[in-house]
Amino acid sequence: MPPSSAATIEISKDYLHFNAAHFTLFSATEREDLHGHTFYVAATVTSPVGDDGLAFDYNLFKNALKALCDELDEKVLLPSRSPYLALEQDGGYLVARFADERIPFLPRDVLTLPVRNITVEELAPWLLSRLRAEPDVAALNLDRLELRVSSGPGQWAVASWTRDDAARDDSGGS
């Protein structure tokens, strides 16, 4: 039997994307106009190779990533933790208050995310934490997991997790 080894698997499919509207907040007084992107999502997974010659069932990741993309697809994404944006209900609307602007949205069109800004650098770690929380993914014996988000060609943010991160978290950060 060959010695134990690890494999790094890239999971990147054309269907792993979502279309969403957002605006980036630059300061308490400056923001982008509302606009949209096709955001692409990909993952790189490092895991030991089992006796059966498989690191893991790739479909677990593809299905979990697709479900996350579907959740975000065709939504206006707003940050719930921004120091510059306040969100409130007003009648049948979700209203975003920014500087002296009042921006109303239909609640069914909006998804608020627990991030400070809707940027790829905030989406990547948020999506990574959501992916790691999926029971099928959490049950896997992983060494490393990277999640990438793109808002356009050649423009990716990467968030990563390693087994060492988990060990540090379990020991209280020491």
With a cut of 70, which residues of the chain have pLDDT below it?
Answer: 1-4, 166-174
User: Is the separation of the CB atoms in 79 and 85 below 8 Å?
Assistant: yes
pLDDT at 66: 98
CB 48 within 8 Å of CB 4 = yes
CA 140 to chain centre: 19
Alpha carbon distances (Å) from 135 to 2, 47, 59, 60, 108:
30, 17, 14, 10, 27
Q: What's the pLDDT score for residue 165?
A: 75
Locate 133 and state its tokens: 């929380």
Structural domain of 156: 6-81+110-170
Q: Is residue 105 part of a domain?
A: no
Is 39 contained in some domain? Answer: yes
By the 8 A CB rule, do 28 and 68 touch? no
Averaged confidence pLDDT in the chain: 93
Q: Is residue 26 part of a domain?
A: yes
Domain-located, residue 102: no
* Cα-based distances in Å from 87 to 31, 100, 164: 16, 14, 37
Residue 158: per-residue pLDDT: 98
pTM exceeds cut of 0.85? yes
Strand 144-152 versus strand 85-90 pairing type: unpaired
Q: Does 73 fall in a domain?
A: yes
Question: How far, in Å, CA of 123 to CA of 130, rounded?
Answer: 10
115 located within any domain: yes
Give the CATH number for residue 149. Answer: 3.30.479.10
CB proximity list for 59: less than 8 A, separation 6 or greater: none
Q: How far apart are CA 168 and CA 34, in angstroms?
A: 40
In a domain, 88, yes or no: no
* 85/96 Cα distance (integer angstroms): 7
Residue 135 lies in a domain: yes
What is the tally of structural domains in the chain?
1
Neighbours of 86 (CB within 10 A): 11
pLDDT given for residue 163 in this prediction:
85
Predicted local confidence at residue 2, as pLDDT: 53
